[in-house]
Amino acid sequence: MLRNNAQHAGEKTVNPELTAKALAKAVCDGDIVNFRFLFSPFSPARRDSTERFETPKYAYLLPDTEMEHSDTFRAVLQIVRRGDIWAHVEQELEAKRPAQMPSELLLMLADNAVRSEKYTSAAQAYEVLRIRARMQEEFLNQGEIALDKGDIPRAVRAYLVAASLEYDYGAFPEPLPAVPNFQTRALMLHGDYPATPEESLPFQELPVFLRTGFTYLLLNPSLAAKLESRPIETRLDFFERLVHERDPRWGEFATRYQAACRLTQEFAERIQRALQNRAGGGDDDVLEDEIYAQLGENPMEIAAQLLGRSIPNGEWWQYLKEIAGEHPPGILFLSRQVIGEHETLLPRYRADSPLPIRLGLVEKRAE
């Protein structure tokens, strides 16, 4: 049966034009999965495969009319059709062994993947070409040059690309491109309960806070360390821009953060009144009563305010993970706090830090 299939498949003809177009599309899209698939044993581009480009399920491999008419696509198609490359492609699609992909096309694919911010695809392609680490350095060098010139937006972009090309060699079972796992990292940052408010993450001294923030947002301590030598004002500008790059909807979080601050302030005032009552000979139970009066039936009111919605029976860490997923930088301005019998998240920031105002987390005070 297998032999019959193979014989039948051997009679198949492949339209080379479709193969060329499919390869050019994968290169233009920066799509290493489709590119690899075209060289795989089950590829519709192979004569000995039973798969066919003409079937609707492979329409995604081919360019649409708009793409076909674009200058970029036509330029890539021309390179795919170039004598030496096309001869190699044909040879590899006929060979009865794992195909060797043409490096020139793969390099173009990787660059296009970076342009389209498909970083896992870019990292894989550069890794196959064995230039990933060096490409990271190239982007980082451009970041340093931009910093020297005071061009913060370009520097942040270059650092982010370099960080996004990172590979996780510890991944199981095989290495994979590193992905921004903010939810896990946020939990690690808030893993230890701060015994005093001063121990909490947002209360760290500014240089320490910036280092922690850079390491978290750039996913890489060595990239964060590179910024250490820059003046504090440059680091602040960089941080501000980085926050907006990592979270395009930062403004929404900042608005909710301000509301959460007001809620926390009201709560603190009530606690203060309760303490005064107790000092004045009031009932010891008043403090407890005040806490519950403030929190009502929902002890996670402040955390829900920060997230913008409540999580049924949600614990502090669930709120933290959700916030980290939606607004990664947001968790840098939060702290765990036990109130009554519950642990929740509170907005916290250093009053002497310029960051909360620059990031819109607190309203500007009138001069």
Partner 1 sequence: MNQALTDEGYIDYYAILGLGRDAKPGEVRKEYRRRMKDLVYEIGETEITEEKRAFYLLEMAKLNAAFYILGNANRREAYTSERDSLIALEQRWRTAVDEHSAEADALRREFDRRIRGFLSKYIEEAMLDAGRDRECVEASNWNEAHERHASRILRHYRQSLYQKVLERLPFVEVTPPNIDWSERTETVQSILSEMMRNA
Residues near partner 1 (CB under 8 A) are 88, 97-98, 100-104, 106-107, 111, 114-115, 128-131, 134-135, 138-139, 141-142, 146, 153-154, 157-158, 161, 168-172, 175, 188, 221
> How far apart are CB 142 and partner 1 at their closest, in Å?
6
In the complex with partner 1, which residue's Cβ is closer, 204 or 344?
Answer: 204
103-125 burial by CB neighbour count: b if 16+ within 10 A, else e? Answer: eebbbbbbbbbbeeebbbbbbbb
Which helix (H) or strand (E) segment holds residue 344: the answer is: strand 342-347
Shortest Å, Cβ 171 to partner 1: 8
Query: Nearer Cβ to partner 1, position 121 or 344?
Result: 121
Instruction: Report the residue number, 192 or 266, with the smaller CB distance to partner 1.
Output: 192
Please report, as a single letter, which amino acid is at residue 84.
Answer: D
Grouping H, G, I as helix, E, B as strand and the rest as coil, residue 248 is coil
**Which of 282, 304, 284 minimizes the C-alpha distance to 295?**
304
| Least distance (Å) between residue 130 CB and partner 1 | 6
Chain centre distance of CA 171 = 17
Quote the least distance from Cβ 321 to partner 1, whole Å: 19
- C-beta of 114: minimal distance to partner 1 in Å? 6
Q: How far apart are CA 348 and CA 199, in angstroms?
A: 12
Complex with partner 1: residue 41 or 153, whichever CB lies closer: 153
For residue 193, the surrounding DSSP H or E stretch is none
Residue number, 111 or 343, with CB nearest to partner 1? 111
If 0-12 CB within 10 Å is exposed, 13-18 middle and 19+ buried, where does residue 98 land?
Answer: exposed
State which residue, 136 or 264, has the beta carbon closest to partner 1: 136
Per the CB < 8 A criterion, the answer to whether 142 and 159 are in contact is no
Strand partners, 167: 177
Q: Cα torsion for 144, 147, 151, 157, to the nearest 10°?
A: 50
Triad 68, 72, 130: Cα angle to 5°: 120
- Report which secondary-structure segment, H or E, holds 206: helix 206-218
**Burial class (CB within 10 angstroms; exposed 0-12, middle 13-18, buried 19+) of 292:** middle
Indicate the residue among 154 and 270 with the shorter CB distance to partner 1: 154
Least separation in angstroms between residue 304's CB and partner 1 is 31
Rounded to a whole number of angstroms, the minimum distance from the CB of residue 117 to partner 1 is 8
The pair of three-digit structure tokens given for residue 136, joined into one six-digit string: 């990271």
Q: How far is the CB of 221 from partner 1 (least distance, A)?
A: 5
Closer CB to partner 1, residue 57 or residue 97?
Answer: 97
Least Å from the CB of residue 182 to partner 1: 16
CB of 76 to partner 1, least distance (A): 15
Which of residues 160 and 359 has its CB atom nearest to partner 1 in the complex? Answer: 160
Query: Torsions phi, psi of 54, nearest 5?
Result: -70, -15
Q: Which is nearer to partner 1, 171 or 268 (CB)?
A: 171
Which pair of tokens denotes residue 126? 């550069």
CA pair distance 74, 113, nearest whole angstrom: 18
Contacts of 331 (CB under 8 A, 6+ apart): 182, 186, 189, 190, 320, 323, 324
